[in-house]
Structure 1
Amino acid sequence: MSPNAPGAPDPYEPPAAGVWTLAGDRLIITVREWPATILVPTGQVRLLAVDLPLPSHARRMAALPFAIEDRIAEPVDSVHIALGEAIAPNRYLVGIVRHDVMARWIAQAEEAGIGHAAMVPDVLTMPRPEQGWAVSQANGRAAVRDAEGTGFEVPAALLRPAWEAAERPAVASYGERLPDDMQKAAATLDPASFGPAAGAAVAALNLRQGAYAVRKVSGGPSLWRKFAWIAAIGAAAHIVIALGDVVMLRSIADRREAETRAAAALAAPGVALGDDLANSVTGMLPTGGGQVPQVFVPLVTRVSGALGPLGGSLAVRTMTFQGRLLTLDLEASLDASLAQQIDAALKANGIAGQAVRSPDGAIRITASAA
Structure 2
Amino acid sequence: MAARVRAAEDDLLALSHRIHANPELAFEETLASGWVAEALSRGGLTVEHGCYDLPTAVRATAGSGPCHVVVCAEYDALPGMGHACGHNIIAAAAVGAGLGLAPVADDLGLTVTVLGTPAEEGGGGKVLMLDRGAFDEADAVLMVHPAAQEAASWRGSAVSVLDVTYRGRPAHAGAHPERGVNAADAMTIAQVAIGLLRQQTRDGDRVHGIITEGGAAANVIPDHTTGNWIVRSDSVAELASLKERVLACFEAGAVGSGCELTVEPTCPDYADVVHDEAIVALYRANAEALGRRFPAGGTLAGAATDLGNVSHRVPAIHPMLGLDCLPAVNHQPEFAAACVTPAADRAVLDGAIALAWTAADLGSGYSATRS
Above 0.5 in TM-score? no
In terms of fraction of residues, the more strand-rich structure is 1
When normalised by structure 2's length, the TM-score is: 0.23
When normalised by structure 1's length, the TM-score is: 0.23
| Greater RCO (CA < 8 Å, at least 6 residues apart) | 2
